[in-house]
């Protein structure tokens, strides 16, 4: 079924990429196939083509980010676009009206693509309603981070050859994670089985409504998993509110060799980065080239963002020469 979908001419009938929820398996496969294509191009000496030549991309980040912003920037540059980075100091921004004012101002400059990250869930969608260009969600609050889920999927598919039928364990602060939500939607749509693991303060029982299996014990949750996806634990969650301490968290929910031994022998480890070594993951595991795909995820990040930019701009009016 998946093989039959490898048609680069499948339409992507969305103006924006605001989230994974609502995308069909065919649309996700299209993005993954194009990502594979760009991953190969990026590794080879061949130029990736100039699909975005003459286009303007604005990176509008209301939340500090180095990795994601650089990844989007590189992706756009490699496709020949002109890129402007706007890092907005969150403290100097008033929410609500000011976000819309910013949107209207940028819209008046006629960019082709706006990549936006914002600390509030739903803010990127709100922005998208006020501009005429393509909007790509670079992460909104605890809602969605679609390009992260796509790059995780490409990484898994390249290593395992498929997504369908795999058992994926997502571990850690699921409650506050946009990465987890986007991944759950994507993996479900592509036919994988998803488990979420963590203490009930970070993995509420209501997560079952997402169609995932909820575990509060790492050994049980990791049993026979094909993929172990670790999430970053924010420092403010560790100081006695959701989790009593770092050492307690690491003892019961940090991924080390011993806990990993419950997963399949060839289980692959993913982490969206940046890692808290000794909090959610042991260095011994994180740096194991045979098991950890963490570096590959970063590499795929650029390819996925190239694919998204290319596929989304296909729908824009074509640029006239001269």
Residues within the interface to other proteins (CB under 8 A): 199-201, 204-205, 216-217, 239-245, 247-248, 251-252
Is residue 165 left, alpha or beta, with left meaning phi > 0 and alpha meaning psi from -120 to 50? left
Instruction: Say if residues 37 and 93 touch (Cβ distance below 8 Å).
Output: no
- Least spacing, CB of residue 277 vs other proteins, in Å: 20
* Alpha-carbon distances, residue 212 vs 22, 209, 215 (angstroms): 17, 7, 10
Report the C-alpha gap between 173 and 187 in whole angstroms: 18
- Least spacing, CB of residue 202 vs other proteins, in Å: 9
Residue closer to other proteins, measured from CB, 159 or 237: 237
Residue closer to other proteins, measured from CB, 138 or 254: 254
- Least spacing, CB of residue 244 vs other proteins, in Å: 4
Residue closer to other proteins, measured from CB, 12 or 249: 249
Instruction: Say if residues 167 and 227 touch (Cβ distance below 8 Å).
Output: yes
Report the C-alpha gap between 159 and 39 in whole angstroms: 13
Beta-strand runs (E) in 53-126 = 56-61, 82-87, 113-118
Residue closer to other proteins, measured from CB, 110 or 247: 247
Beta-strand runs (E) in 24-132 = 56-61, 82-87, 113-118
Q: Which residues pair with 117 in a beta bridge?
A: 61
- Least spacing, CB of residue 204 vs other proteins, in Å: 8
- Least spacing, CB of residue 11 vs other proteins, in Å: 45
Instruction: Say if residues 224 and 263 touch (Cβ distance below 8 Å).
Output: yes
Residue closer to other proteins, measured from CB, 40 or 248: 248
Helix (H, G, I), strand (E, B) or coil at 80: coil
- Least spacing, CB of residue 196 vs other proteins, in Å: 14
């Amino acid at each position: 079924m998946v093989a039959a979908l490898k048609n680069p001419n499948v339409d992507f009938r969305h103006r924006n990429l605001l989230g994974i929820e609502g995308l069909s398996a065919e649309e996700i496969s299209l993005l993954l196939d194009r990502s594979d294509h760009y991953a190969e191009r990026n590794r080879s000496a061949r130029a990736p083509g100039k699909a975005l030549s003459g286009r303007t991309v604005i990176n509008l980040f209301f939340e500090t980010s180095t990795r994601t912003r650089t990844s989007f920037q590189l992706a756009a540059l490699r496709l020949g676009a002109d890129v402007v980075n706007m890092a907005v100091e969150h403290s100097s921004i008033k929410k609500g009206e000011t976000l819309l004012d910013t949107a209207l101002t940028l819209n008046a400059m006629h960019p082709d693509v706006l990549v936006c990250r914002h600390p509030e869930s739903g803010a990127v969608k709100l922005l998208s309603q006020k501009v005429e260009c393509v909007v790509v969600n670079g992460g909104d609050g605890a809602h969605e981070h679609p390009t992260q889920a796509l790059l995780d999927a490409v990484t898994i598919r390249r290593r395992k050859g498929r997504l369908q039928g795999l058992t994926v364990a997502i571990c850690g602060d699921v409650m506050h994670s946009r990465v987890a939500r986007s991944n759950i939607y994507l993996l479900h749509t592509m036919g994988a089985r998803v488990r979420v693991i963590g203490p009930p303060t970070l993995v509420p029982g209501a997560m079952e409504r997402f169609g995932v299996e909820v575990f509060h014990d790492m050994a049980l949750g990791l049993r026979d998993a094909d993929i172990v996806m670790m999430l970053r634990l924010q420092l403010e969650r560790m100081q006695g509110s959701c989790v009593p301490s770092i050492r307690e968290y690491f003892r019961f929910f940090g991924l080390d060799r011993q806990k990993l031994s419950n997963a399949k022998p060839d289980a692959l480890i993913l982490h969206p980065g940046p890692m808290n070594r000794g909090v959610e993951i042991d260095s011994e595991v994180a740096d194991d080239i045979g098991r950890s795909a963490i570096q590959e995820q970063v590499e795929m990040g650029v390819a996925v963002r190239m694919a998204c930019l290319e596929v989304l701009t296909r729908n824009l009016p074509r640029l006239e020469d001269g």
